[in-house]
Amino acid sequence: MRIEGCGALVTGGASGLGAAVARMLAGAGARVTILDRDGAAAESLAADTGARAAAGDVTSEADVARALDRAAEGGEAPRIAVNCAGIAPPAKIVGRDGPHPLETFEQVLAVNLTGTFNVMRLAAERILALDPLEGGVRGAIVNTASVAAYEGQVGQAAYAASKGGVVSMTLPAAREFARSGLRVNAIAPGLFRTPMLAGLPEEARASLGAQVPFPARLGEPEEFAAAVRFCLESDYLNGEVIRLDGALRMQPR
């Protein structure tokens, strides 16, 4: 699938992994629309990359529909959707202050899992209505999972559960859309240099990077974006979850 000329929606696209994906797609010639709760940051990056911006929440059907409408202005509906929006508040199941707040667990699942599903279902509806390209390809969706789906650490019960759901729905989604030429894949990143780690001292970040077998460092957002591009351009890749982690296997803590 050729990225050039295609419309693309990137959620969580104003920072971190999403911003790197938005820059990559814009550089490859896609018509990019950035959906992010931080509307000002989305507008800033859009101005810098020639993209469009839409402020909104991935858990809102109305917000996602408006972003897809924005992405289709002056052309066809986007054939590409990349889900990068996510949150990861740490909390033990039973901590010093008592049991894990149920509302926090529900919020993490709402954003990371339900939000991903919400964008996928609404984007897919529009992609399936488009005429196929060469080889019967209609489009591609890439969702963001995490190595926590496989080796969640203490304090990551909610996050691991949400990302495990993203992993688990990859294959059934790919199977459902296969006859229509819409592919679905996911990437499970390990430790990356993103805003989630930005609050840590450099020494702590270096210590985390040293845990990675090779290369012994944090991953760069541009490396994640390169993996997304591979998923989009490789027509034979479908229903797969790619670990992007330098052979890291997370320890309990």
**Which residues does 92 contact at the CB level (< 8 Å), separation at least 6?**
100, 154, 155, 157
Question: Shortest CA distance to 31 belongs to which of 64, 65, 73, 83?
Answer: 73
**Which residues does 46 contact at the CB level (< 8 Å), separation at least 6?**
32, 34, 52, 53
Whole-number Å distance between alpha carbons of 71 and 22? 13
Whole-number Å distance between alpha carbons of 192 and 205? 10
Whole-number Å distance between alpha carbons of 59 and 247? 32
Q: What's the DSSP call for residue 111?
A: I
Catalytic residue among 159, 177, 192, 224: 159
Is 159 annotated as catalytic?
yes
3-state secondary structure at position 113: helix
The owner of tokens 């054939």 is 79
Q: E strands along the chain, which residues?
A: 7-11, 31-36, 52-55, 80-83, 94-95, 98-99, 139-144, 182-189, 241-244
Which residues are tagged catalytic? 159
